[in-house]
Amino acid sequence: MSWHLFAVFFASTFFISATPGPNMLLAFQYGLNYGVKRTLWTLAGLSLGLFILLLSTLLGLDVISRQSPWLLTVIKTVGAIYLIY
């Protein structure tokens, strides 16, 4: 990967992850109300929850792709149509 592509990837990843959402608002609220130590535990819990969600999704799609490849194609097509819409 060239340095230019890496810089673009890093910048876009940073801005996407820094956008406010429910997890960021929760961490911000905990930081204001309870301090840094409790906020770090909250962030660890949020990260663990995201990891479990991503892992279960990945394993589920792996099982689907092994059992019925046509169903994975349908899921990809529906996802693409949703993103275009």
- Residue 12 pLDDT greater than 80, yes or no: no
pLDDT at 1: 58
C-alpha angle 74-77-78 in degrees, rounded to nearest 5 = 85
Mean pLDDT for 62-82 is 87
For 20-62, how does the pLDDT look when each residue is reduced to its tens digit (9 = 90+)?
788 888 888 999 999 888 899 998 988 888 888 778 877 887 7
pLDDT at 77: 94
Domain boundaries, the chain: 3-84
What are the CA-CA distances from residue 61 to residues 76, 78, 83 (Å)? 11, 14, 19
